[in-house]
Chain A
Amino acid sequence: MIPELGQFALILALVLAGAQAFFGIFGAARNDLRWQAVVRPAVAGQFVLVSTAIGVMVHAFVTFDFSVLYVASNSNSALPTFYRVAALWGAHEGSLLLWAWILAAWTLAVAIASRNLPVSFASRVMGVLGFVSFGFLLFTVATSNPFERIFPVPADGRDLNPVLQDPALAIHPPMLYMGYVGFSVAFAFACAAMLEGKLDQVWARWTRPWTTMAWSFLSVGIALGSWWAYYELGWGGYWFWDPVENASFMPWLVGTALIHSLAATEKRGVFKSWTLLLAILAFSLSLLGTFLVRSGVLTSVHSFAADPTRGLFILGFLIIVIGGALALYAWRAPLLKSPAGFEGTAREAFLLYNNVFLVSAAAMVFVGTLAPLIADALKITPLSVGSPYFDKLFPMLMLPLGALVAIGIHAAWKRGQLGNHRRRILAGFGVAVVFGLTLVYAVYGRGKMLTPLGMVLGIWIIISSLFDPIDRLRRRLTLPRAVLGMTLAHIGLGVGIIAISTVESYSVERDAAIAPGETLALGRYAYRFDSIKPVEGPNYDGVRAEVTVLRDGEPVALLHPEQRNYWVQRSTLTEAGIASGWNMDLFVALSKEVGGGRWSVRAQLRPLIDWVWLSAAFMALGGVLAVSDRRYRVRAVAAEPAVAQGSAAEAT
């Protein structure tokens, strides 16, 4: 009985979403306040109803209600409680439910925070969000009912995919969805502005915190996925350029471009139509990501491919939402004027270059990801690209972008006045060269050609981003959170470039078959295989090895790599043994027994690898700090004259 309540709640939520869309969009168009008054209650009601559906689902998982097909397929009586809750988004139907719930939550936040916005604008924003929600709920109810029953009721469930039974991967999808869905707010703001036919600098100020927040979540989500791949796939890599990863990376790249373009729109009133387009694009890529992952177009997910109606439904939805927004854009964007001019070295110009590189990178990933599909549709020679394509092209776009960041940070609005900062730029560069090359050649030794480049660039970016905040402190000026956040995010970028360059060049790995008691030498380190013992978990058994890592003969770390066999799905998973240090990870993964008590193992030294994820944490934290800045909380409805006095000191 309870699961049917969940389904009923979803259907009611669908109706409310329809009302929210209709009264929001048409109420604003007719300028009818009574119609628009329906919108906020509809938002609140929808949130309560979708939350009820989620609650019902969690209840079914926690109480082992295997009469619900989704629970029977993704849970098991031996599954620990934490994963029974996380199993909610372990497969297709539940993921959609989570998507809808997060959208309802974002919309609720908009409803609460938009009380100071003009009524018609807020109604339109919520109307557009209601439309998106309507589509998703309709999709869920019509093609992917999560509450479907199964009869006869199975005695036990088929268990959650063991790959997903991991803390990082359990919270990875919610974070990712917070980012994906969060871009729907920027999208709704863009659509509302186009419907109003008005886009000013105040609009950009309203839109910025939402966009930055979504981007921060997406950064965390992507980093968690990458971190998981590192320790769980037993392989030591952190990024594989597979379609699912790319699907999340494209909105991130475009979202990053959007954040910067919004800054220019807010401060200087430029790039208006471009900003609109990016806002549409960021959410479109999020939807496309959901489509690619969920439709089985790129990866052959069998359960899904069996049902082409789902793919067609999402495609139809994409066409209506994205196609509609782009049509609106073609109609309205020509009306927008960007009056202010700027010089080629002004901050605006650097933000434009930044956008060119970021969008090119997104396009590059897009082409690489969809190449097989496009080739297939055009009936030309099947073409596919692996990570070699991405590994070659991506740095070619990112390194110039890095240099632009290091210089552009110093540029002032309107007129670059880079001449005034020539000494800072050159000094920063000089220090970066000396420091970077010393690090490369004295500490790590010769690496690939890109290494010194990446190292110098990363350090240069960090130094460049520190000038302004230090300057402010010395002159006893305030240090707004927006500036602090921007600085932190740029430092994150520098750290990321340094970390990736280092990991890519100086990782050492060795594979060998060794027996307990034997030692595997790896540079100054030695991995001593002490023992191997059986181990049993709640829903798996396996073996657990003890490996002592010695440096120059002294023990420095004790690692416990595992090999687990999950009972229900009969799959084997590797849990790598990792000791993380500030400068290096010691990594060992067990592969298999090769006979005679010998195990084949992979041992690695991965310098600075944790800094790859830490860089994402810096960026996300920077984003959150910037969002918390006072300037976004100013309670002003009247269009205040957006001041745009050009100065490098102004935060972007």
Chain B
Amino acid sequence: MIRFLIPAAIFLALAGVLYVGVVHSPNKSTMQSALLGKPVPKFNLPVLGKPGMTLSNAQYAGRPWVLNVWGTWCAACREEHEALLEIARQNALPLVGLSWKDDDDAAVDWLTQLGNPYSVVAVDHDGRTAIDFGVYGAPETFFIDASGRVQYRHVGAMTPEVWEREFLSRVPRGGLP
């Protein structure tokens, strides 16, 4: 009769997982702490639409920048696109895109049609770099400071409010180097 206990056992395990999820969910602090203050994960990826070129984490050393993980298959990315375009117009920080597990043609089409907010888009076909960043669902946006450390992570669609409160506020006063 043990088999009738199996559903209850599975549920208890799940409840444990959900508990961890809830306790850690406010501002996603644990997920952030895994990477917060740590050097940005190393990567060297092809650049979207520029065959032969690559982009590495070292290229932005010495200045703060922002990494936005997106995919054309992700509805929330479409939702945040207007906000990203607005952010790009401010020209306050370099906005680097990470095209995550996506079809390159689809990604290029997307940017042609909707406008391209990114200074450059790196292509992460197998999702390895996204894993290094601990990405857990597109879109996600990271703030990396001048010393190359991840200082903030935003999960979900970017909005002008989040941008002002969490990203712009982290740019050192006195402007960019």
A binding-site residues for B, Cβ under 8 Å: 229, 233-235, 237, 240, 242-243, 273, 277, 280-281, 284, 291, 295-301, 305-308, 311-312, 315, 318-319, 322-323, 326-327, 329-330, 333-334, 370, 372-378, 381-384, 386-388, 511-512, 570-572, 591-592, 594, 600-602
Chain A neighbourhood of B63, CB < 8 A: none
11 interchain pairs, CB-CB under 8 A = A235-B75, A273-B4, A277-B7, A297-B25, A306-B26, A312-B23, A329-B8, A330-B1, A374-B17, A382-B134, A600-B113
Partner of A323, one of B8, B101, B160: B8
B1–A329 touching, CB < 8 Å: no
- Closest chain B CB from A570 CB (angstroms): 8
Query: Per a CB cutoff under 8 Å, which of A235, A297, A512, A594 touches B21?
Result: A297
Query: Does B135 sit within 8 A of A, measured CB to CB?
Result: yes
Contact A233 B79 (CB under 8 A): yes
List B31-64 residues whose CB lies under 8 Å from chain A: 31
Q: Which of B83-101 contact A (CB under 8 A)?
A: 85, 100-101
- A233:B25 contact, CB within 8 angstroms: no
B131 contacts A381, C-beta separation under 8 Å: yes
Picked from A284, A296, A308, A378, the residue with its CB within 8 Å of the CB of B23 is A308
Partner of A373, one of B4, B17, B109: B17
Tell me which residues across on chain A come within 8 A of B78, comparing CB atoms: 233-235
Closest A residue by C-beta to B73: A387
Q: Considering the chains assembled together, what is the distance between the CA atoms of A377 and B82 in angstroms?
A: 33
Residues of A near B76 (CB, < 8 A) are 242
Contacting residue for A297 out of B11, B22, B75, B85, CB 8 A = B22
Give which listed residue, A284, A323, A384, A511, contacts B109 with CB less than 8 A. Answer: A511
* Residue in B closest to A388 when the chains form the complex, CB atoms: B101
| B19 close to A237 (CB less than 8 A) | no
Distance to closest chain A CB from B160 (angstroms) = 8
Inside 8 A of A384's CB, which chain B residues have their CB?
130, 135-137
Shortest Cβ distance from A401 into chain B, in angstroms?
23
Once bound together, how far apart are the Cα atoms of A252 and B14, in whole Å?
20
Other contacts beyond A315-B19, A387-B73: 12, CB < 8 A: A299-B156, A300-B155, A308-B22, A323-B11, A329-B4, A374-B17, A376-B20, A382-B135, A386-B74, A388-B101, A600-B115, A602-B113
Is B8 a contact of A326 with CB atoms below 8 Å? yes
Interface presence of B168 (CB below 8 A): no
B115 — which chain A residues lie within 8 A by C-beta? 591-592, 594, 600
The interface size of chain B toward A, counting residues with CB under 8 Å, comes to 51
Q: Pick the contact of B15 from A305, A319, A591 — CB < 8 Å?
A: A319
- Cβ of A600 and Cβ of B4 under 8 Å apart? no
Query: Chain B residues with Cβ under 8 A from A370's Cβ?
Result: 14, 17
A553 to B135, CA, bound (A): 49
A-B residue pair count with CB separations less than 8 angstroms? 141
Q: How far is the CB of B89 from chain A (nearest CB, A)?
A: 12
**Does B169 touch A at the CB level, under 8 Å?**
no
Determine the distance from Cα of A273 to Cα of B3 in the docked complex, in whole angstroms. 11
In the bound complex, residues from chain A placing their C-beta under 8 Å from that of B19 are 312, 315
CA distance A374 to B21 in the complex (A): 8
Residues from chain B with Cβ under 8 Å of A233 in the complex: 75, 78-79
Q: How far is the CA of A388 from the CA of B100 in the complex (A)?
A: 11
Please, which residues of chain A bring their CB within 8 A of the CB of B85? 592
Would you give the shortest CB distance from A429 to chain B, in whole angstroms? 35
A600, chain B: closest CB distance, angstroms = 5
Q: How far is the CA of A196 from the CA of B87 in the complex (A)?
A: 62
Closest partner residue, chain A, to B162 (CB atom): A302
* Cβ of B140 to closest chain A Cβ, rounded Å: 10
Bound-state CA distance A373–B14 (Å) is: 10
Q: Are B20 and A240 in contact (CB under 8 A)?
A: no
Interface residues of B, Cβ cutoff 8 Å to A: 1, 4-5, 7-8, 11-12, 14-28, 30-31, 71, 73-76, 78-79, 82, 85, 100-101, 109, 112-115, 130-131, 134-138, 154-156, 160
Residues of A within 8 A of B14 (CB): 370
> A386–B113 contact, CB under 8 A?
no
Q: Which of A295, A326, A571 has the most CB of B within 10 A?
A: A326
Kindly provide the distance from the CB of A308 to the nearest chain B CB, expressed in whole angstroms: 5
Does A377 lie within 8 Å of B22, measured CB to CB?
no
CA distance A273 to B5 in the complex (A): 12
- Complex: how many Å from CA A358 to CA B159? 38
Contact A305 B75 (CB under 8 A): no
Highest count of chain A CB atoms <10 Å: which of B22, B131, B134: B22
List 3 A-B pairs, minimum CB-CB distance, nearest first: A511-B113, A311-B22, A326-B8
Could you say which of A306, A312, A377, A512 has the most chain B C-beta atoms within 10 Å of its C-beta?
A377
Contacts of A296 in B (CB 8 A): 25
List chain A residues, Cβ under 8 A from B20.
376-377
Q: Which residue on chain A has the smallest CB distance to residue B34?
A: A382
Residues of B within 8 A of A334 (CB): 1, 4
- The answer to whether B71 and A295 touch across the interface, beta carbons within 8 angstroms, is no
Residue of B20, B21, B109, B131 contacting most chain A CB atoms (<10 Å): B21
Across the interface, which residues of A come within 8 angstroms of B136, CB to CB? Answer: 372, 375-376, 382, 384
Cα-based distance from A235 to B110 in the complex (angstroms) = 10
Minimal beta-carbon separation of A124 from chain B (angstroms): 20
Are A308 and B114 in contact, with the CB atoms below 8 A? Answer: no
Contacts of A572 in B (CB 8 A): 82
User: Within the complex, what minimum Cβ distance (angstroms) separates A338 from chain B?
Assistant: 14
Q: Complex formed: what's the CA distance from A376 to B114 in Å?
A: 33
On whether the beta carbons of B21 and A377 are closer than 8 Å, the reply is yes
Chain A residues with CB below 8 A from B25, complex form: 295-297, 305, 308, 311
Complex Cα spacing A284 to B137, Å: 24
Least CB distance from A169 to B in Å reads: 14
Q: Are A591 and B22 in contact (CB under 8 A)?
A: no
A319 to B112, CA, bound (A): 49
Interface contact B137-A388, CB-CB below 8 Å = no
Cβ of B130: which chain A residues have Cβ within 8 Å of it? 384
Which residues does chain B contribute within 8 Å of A229, judged by CB atoms? 75
B133 to chain A: closest residue by CB: A382
Distance from B1 Cβ to chain A, minimum over Cβ atoms (Å): 4
In Å, the complex CA distance between A602 and B101 comes to 23
List, in ascending order, chain A residues with CB within 8 A of B15's CB: 315, 318-319, 323
State which of B12, B24, B26, B75 has its C-beta within 8 Å of the C-beta of A237: B75
Chain B residues near A329: list those with CB within 8 A: 4, 7-8
In the assembled complex, the Cα of A318 lies from the Cα of B100 at a distance in Å of 35
A308 to B20, CA, bound (A): 11
Cβ–Cβ < 8 Å partners of A327 in chain B: 8
- A332 vs chain B, min Cβ distance (A): 9
Q: How far is the CB of A351 from chain B (nearest CB, A)?
A: 20
Nearest Cβ on chain A to B14's Cβ, whole angstroms:
8
Task: State in angstroms the CA–CA spacing of A372 and B28 once bound together.
Answer: 13
Beta-carbon contact of A242 and B112 below 8 Å = no
| Contact partner, A242, options B21, B27, B75, B101, Cβ 8 Å | B75
Query: Do A600 and B114 form a contact, CB below 8 Å, given A322-B11, A330-B8, A386-B138?
Result: yes
**Cα distance A384–B74 when bound, in Å?**
13
- What residue of chain B has the Cβ atom nearest to residue A309's Cβ? B22
Partner of A326, one of B7, B101, B114, B135: B7
